[in-house]
Amino acid sequence: MRLMVARCTVDYEGRLQAHLPEAVRLIMIKADGCVAIHADGGAYKPLNWMNAPNTVTEEEGRWLITNPKGESLNVEIHEILSDTKWEMGIDPGLRKDGVEAHLQELLAADPTTLGEELSLVRREFPTDIGPVDLLCRNADGTAVAIEVKRRGEIDGVEQLLRYLERMERDPALRGIQGILAAQSVKPQARVFAESRGIRWVEIDYDSLRGIERAQMSLFD
């Protein structure tokens, strides 16, 4: 990784055009050729950048970075304050323990937490446009498709509608209903869901996890 602190101006042209007036900034070049121009503020996002794959051309007082998509980044270096290089090797990488998959898991373990008499048929039930998170049946035996989201937004309703449309064609699933389950459901998603006959449920992740813990403890 090369780190250069320099007074510079930058122009990007590609998906849009952007210009940075002269100022002191950090220019970071990673081993894979990625370039990022950072100011001393503004979260982790750089002011300008160019991701791999790209071509970095270094000239006197000027760097030109281009990529195969026709984007370009032109960095004019007016004064170099520091220029260092570091060997870091391949990073062992990040271990994540996510929430979404866990939510689906918890609801699969006990669909009745959605407030209805539901029994699980299967998780990730396949349709020809992708798997629906949970397929259940209610007390009447009616199929119920459940889309699980951390946050319930309009996209989630659209996604569920597409699944329902497909699943309705299956005689075994005829009359299928839909539920959007999320930790929070946005107002516009509520309006839209209701207008299409889809129910929505807000689920409390912490208490759900609490239930799981309580159930787990039975086996201790």
Partner DNA sequence: AGGTGTATGTCGCAT
Partner DNA sequence: ATGCGACGTACACCT
Nearest to 49 by CA among 58, 40, 39, 41: 39
Which is closer to a copy of itself, CB of 136 or CB of 178?
178
Residues in binding contact with a copy of itself, number by CB under 8 A: 62
Closer of 61 and 131 to a copy of itself (Cβ): 131
Say whether residue 149 binds DNA (CB under 7 A). yes
Q: Do the beta carbons of residue 119 and residue 136 sit within 8 Å?
A: yes
Among 57, 68, 70, 95, binds a copy of itself (CB under 8 A): 95
Long-range CB contact pairs, 192-197, < 8 A, 24+: 192/154, 192/157, 193/157, 196/157, 196/161
Q: Which is nearer to DNA, 143 or 189 (CB)?
A: 189
Work out the burial of residue 13: count CB atoms within 10 Å of its CB; fewer than 13 is exposed, 13-18 middle, 19 or more buried: middle
20 is a site residue for a copy of itself (CB under 8 A): yes
Q: Given the rule CB under 7 A, which of 21-29, 110-118, 148-156, 198-206 is the region that contacts DNA?
A: 148-156
Task: Report the distance separating Cα 162 and Cα 127, nearest Å.
Answer: 10
* Partner interacting with residue 25 (select from DNA, a copy of itself, none; CB below 5-8 Å by kind): a copy of itself
Binding status of residue 43 toward a copy of itself by CB under 8 A: yes
